[in-house]
Amino acid sequence: MLSVISLDLTTSNTLGLAATASHLVRYQFPEQLVDLLALVSQYQNVLVLGGGSNVILPAVLDGLVIKVESRGIRLLEETETHFIVEAQAGEIWHDFVDHCISCGWWGLENLALIPGTVGAAPVQNIGAYGIELDQRFHSLVACNLSTGQTVEMSAQQCEFSYRTSYFKQQPPGQWLILSVRFSLPRQWSPVLAYPDLQRHPVLVTAGNTINARQVFDAVCDIRRSKLPDPAVLGNAGSFFKNPVVSAQTYQGLLADWPALVAYPQAGGMYKLAAGWLIDQAGWKGKRMGPVGVHDRQALVLVNHGGATANDIHQLAHAIQDDVQQRFGVKLEQEPVNS
């Protein structure tokens, strides 16, 4: 039986915004799905909430909030080349990565310490330090809350691209991801393309004997040195996507800004470092009332205490306008407005 409750969500979103759900239900077991679908039909607005790491919550959430708290990890299949591992959507992402490494299922270590849940990871197509989720993705099981139909979806059907997916393009509350499956290689080799990893002392010392646990620990160490802990200083991680521009735009910017940080992409495009643009515009460490830009990472907006969604939006828009005027580049926010 599902119980609908009222719940303060201030500690259920990593930005630490004061928010209340007047109607919330906890989804914890697959057996609850039938009752959940019957409940959803009674509400006009539905929000699916995982770890609250990629959302900007209003003060009051109208409609029904589904808090995903399902748990379970299992080895679904072994092939000659891969381990197929399935996790329930409510599993904490970082804990899931840690568990996989402990079991010898390697390949997700570069994605360590990313906040949120397993079910939210494909929505954003999370990525870090040279690995995108879609590179390790096998399939997922999701329920269309409008039709009640449960389907299995491949990577192609999920329409993954940089920090987005099919699910992110759909109306809020349309889909409930139930479980996600990953294809992890038996023949593992470290992905160390990023300079931070190449310079990390543990990995330098390990040389040719690097293992997945060492990469995991190095990624955690690097992230902790650069990014604030949401439990201490509210934030949603990287707030803006790294913009992708044409070669012509890149060359024009490079002429004016020789130190421009950019990475070549397929098709002759270039991915610009949004944090560098924001830093050059003078926003790093700047504060607007209860919100501001982190003093060590310009890509992170922080809540110094008592902030509202409107405070976050005002700061984000100010940064976007400034970067647009200075560089002619439009920044797109990552977190979803709920």
Which pair of structure tokens corresponds to residue 126? 């999370």
> Are the beta carbons of 84 and 24 closer than 8 angstroms?
no
63 in helix, strand or coil?
coil
Give the 3-state secondary structure of residue 84: strand
At residue 131, the 3 state secondary structure works out as: strand
d(CA 236, CA 239): 6
Which residues are the active-site residues? 163, 238, 334
144-174: b (≥16 Cβ within 10 Å) or e: ebeeeeeeebebeebebeebbbbbbeeeebe
Q: How far is CA 321 from CA 281, 333, 335, in A?
A: 11, 13, 18
151 forms beta bridges with 142
Integer Cα distance of 246 and 332 in angstroms: 16
Distance CA(87)–CA(79), nearest Å, equals: 18
Three-state SS string over 282-293 comes to CCCCCEECCEEE
Q: Point out which residues pair with 264 in neighbouring strands.
A: 270
